[in-house]
Copies of this chain bind each other. A is one copy, B any other.
Amino acid sequence: MRDFAEIFDEIVREYGARGFLYPGAGGLPVLVGELRSYVSSDLGVSIRDHEDLVVVSGAQHGIKLLSQLLLGERDIVITEDPTFWEAIDPMRFQGARLIGIPVDEEGMDTSRLEDLLRKGVKPRLIYVIPTCHNPCGYVMSIDRRRHLLEIAEKYDLTILEDDPYRPIAQDPPPSLKSIDRDGRVIYVGSMSKVLAPGLRIGYVILDRVLAIELSKLEQHDFSTSTPMQLLVARALKKGLVRSLIPRLRRHYSEKIRILVESLEEHLPGSFTRARCGFFTIVRLGVDAEKHLPRAIASGVIYVPAKDFHIEKKPADTARISISMPSKEEIREGVERLASSIRG
């Protein structure tokens, strides 16, 4: 945060009032340039010649704009089941119909996806969080990634890859975008996990023709603060982000390891074995909404996860987060959660 204050001060001194003018559509060129180099060098995500990077106010804003751009009444979107409910809310608002495909420790069950497509289902979009899935914490295997891309080619599908956790994931597999051969993947990234979510800076990488449409649509809200764009550009340029990545990767992988160990000890067999990211899903065996006040009384909070589910909505699922609590608090929290359930 001290670095932010220092950078903000530099921006005021160097840009003056120019640092506080309207942002142009699609992002300030200085930020677009820094993000392009960050994404390819630090995250290993390739940007092709026919693609552009568009700055948005966080990944969520990118997903909303893409929903507005791509989806209309009764369009079908296929997602992992469960999936991140905030991402699918704007899709539903556009009138899209969601179909969920089960996930396991290797990610979306692509053979189930193929079955559906064989039956003639024609989705407008496949929405996936293949790396550090929210809410399960899974990482899609390389084989499944390849299979998904094969299917996409065969059935002429567009994939929306939501990839906010890559900067904090220990040894993440290549993004779908990087192994895709024919430009079917729209990639959404974020600075929320590596810098801070309150800055509201994310980006979308997509085909240039679509990128122009997205930028036009972004002019309808023009919501990405100019000084925050300059701040992130400078944090990237100064190497602040690069120096954070290895620390954050160690930090969060240690926390996830502790979460899984604690769950194994206190609530064995009831949870998704998270590999990275912030979350895991736990089946409490009791109604998660109803139990919440008791959990809170014992000092634990979770998000009842019913709405993360697409097809069946089990009432006893809860999403647990490790983003804020310390390692000790994670251990303690799981223990308290388990004893609050036992009553």
Residues of A within 8 A of B (CB): 1-2, 4-5, 8-9, 12-13, 16-17, 19-23, 57-58, 60-61, 64-65, 67-68, 86, 89-90, 93, 192, 196-200, 217, 219-228
- B21, A12: Cβ atoms closer than 8 Å: no
Among B16, B60, B198, B220, the residue within 8 A (CB) of A93 is B220
- B64, A93: Cβ atoms closer than 8 Å: no
Complex Cα distance, B23 from A192, in Å, reads: 12
Q: Shortest CB–CB separation between residue A315 and chain B, in angstroms? A: 22
- A219, B86: Cβ atoms closer than 8 Å: yes
Complex Cα distance, B221 from A67, in Å, reads: 11
- A221, B64: Cβ atoms closer than 8 Å: yes
User: A60-B220, A223-B57 given as contacts; is B196 within 8 A of A21 (CB)?
Assistant: yes
- B224, A20: Cβ atoms closer than 8 Å: no
- B1, A222: Cβ atoms closer than 8 Å: no
Complex Cα distance, B223 from A2, in Å, reads: 23
Q: Shortest CB–CB separation between residue A217 and chain B, in angstroms? A: 7
- B219, A21: Cβ atoms closer than 8 Å: no
Complex Cα distance, B226 from A107, in Å, reads: 33
User: A8-B8, A22-B198, A23-B198 given as contacts; is B93 within 8 A of A222 (CB)?
Assistant: no
Complex Cα distance, B16 from A90, in Å, reads: 32
Which residues in B have their C-beta under 8 angstroms from that of A227? 4, 198-199, 228
Whose C-beta in chain B lies nearest to the C-beta of A10? B5
Residue in A23, A89, A222 with the greatest tally of chain B CB atoms within 10 Å: A222
User: A5-B8, A228-B225, A228-B227 given as contacts; is B64 within 8 A of A220 (CB)?
Assistant: yes
Among B2, B198, B220, B225, the residue within 8 A (CB) of A198 is B225
- B224, A200: Cβ atoms closer than 8 Å: yes
Q: Shortest CB–CB separation between residue A113 and chain B, in angstroms? A: 26
Complex Cα distance, B199 from A226, in Å, reads: 6
- A222, B58: Cβ atoms closer than 8 Å: yes
Which residues in B have their C-beta under 8 angstroms from that of A19? 1, 198
Whose C-beta in chain B lies nearest to the C-beta of A11? B5
- A60, B222: Cβ atoms closer than 8 Å: yes
